[in-house]
Amino acid sequence: MIKKDLINLDLINSSLKDNGYVKIKNFFTQDTINKIYDFTVSEIKRINKDRFSINESQLENTVINNIIYEADLKKFCEDLNEKNAINNVSFNPHFLIHYKRKKNKSDEKFSFHYDAFVYTIIIPINIHNENENNFAMSLELIPNYRNLTNSMILNIFQKLIIQNKLFKFFSNSFLFKFFFKTKNIKIDFSEILIFNGFRSLHSHSISKAHAEKEKARLIIHVFNPFHDNKINQLIFKNIQKQRVVKN
């Protein structure tokens, strides 16, 4: 499932530590890439909506679920070092297929946030069989802006400061660029993006050139520090309900 010769763990770990992200060549075998492609294209046709997200609750008995829980992928994630600052954190993946055919008003504004999981892995899905070196997607990133924490209270407090309408308004003003040095991370169809989702502020990019580009991607989040916390479980269930695709 994974081409292990394409993985340089020392380079990946050092880049995550120093830069907050790393771009690597897609390490999945061609067979795995084909399975992800076939499933995604089939779901796009079946659901027939301009945008949707299918999360693990709806992917349970699919090829995507099988890929996520393959021993090779789990071992790769467990060999990432940043998570070691958290006590007794486990793999506990959250994953989804995200698809967008057309942009809407929300795509015209930044929406910075922290993820609930230590790592976020984004794998572009080449639904139109473009050249693998073609632009696939981009992400706005403020790397390693906060530290990992075992405190749920501190985590919620930090999220409340950032994930509100006032900060969203500020993040779309000219002052934001003056105070915050964001990075625009571009990846093509041959690459995978891994970043410290818990620590790094991030948002979708705003691009006139690529705004109308039809996109599909597999997003994998791993190692939730508060997986067993009751408040976290309540919040997560609510998010999951909002993301369920209704046919």
Amino acid sitting at position 247: N
Q: Which of 234, 220, 229 is nearest to 149 (CA)?
A: 229
Q: How confident is the model at residue 245 (pLDDT cuts 50, 70, 90)?
A: low
How far apart, in Å, are the Cα atoms of 91 and each of 80, 227, 234? Answer: 11, 10, 19
The Cα 245–Cα 247 span in angstroms is 6
Q: Is the pTM of this model over 0.85?
A: yes
Residues 29-45, mean pLDDT to the nearest whole number: 97
Amino acid 242: pLDDT: 67
Q: How confident is the model at residue 246 (pLDDT cuts 50, 70, 90)?
A: low
Report, at the CATH architecture level, how domain 4-243 is classified: Sandwich (2.60)
CB atoms near residue 79 (< 10 Å):
11
Q: How confident is the model at residue 106 (pLDDT cuts 50, 70, 90)?
A: confident
- List the end-to-end C-alpha distance of the chain, in Å, as a whole number: 31
Q: How confident is the model at residue 240 (pLDDT cuts 50, 70, 90)?
A: confident
Say yes or no to pLDDT of 26 above 90.
Answer: yes
Amino acid 121: pLDDT: 98
Q: Which of 139, 38, 34, 45 is nearest to 101 (CA)?
A: 45
What residue ranges in the chain does DSSP mark as E strands? 21-25, 51-55, 94-100, 119-124, 135-142, 183-188, 191-195, 201-204, 215-222
pLDDT digit string (tens) for 59-98? 999 999 999 999 999 999 999 999 999 988 999 999 999 9
**Contacts (Cβ under 8 Å, ≥6 apart) of 171:** 110, 111, 112, 180, 203
Sequence ranges of the domains in the chain: 4-243
Question: Which tokens go with 154?
Answer: 């501190």
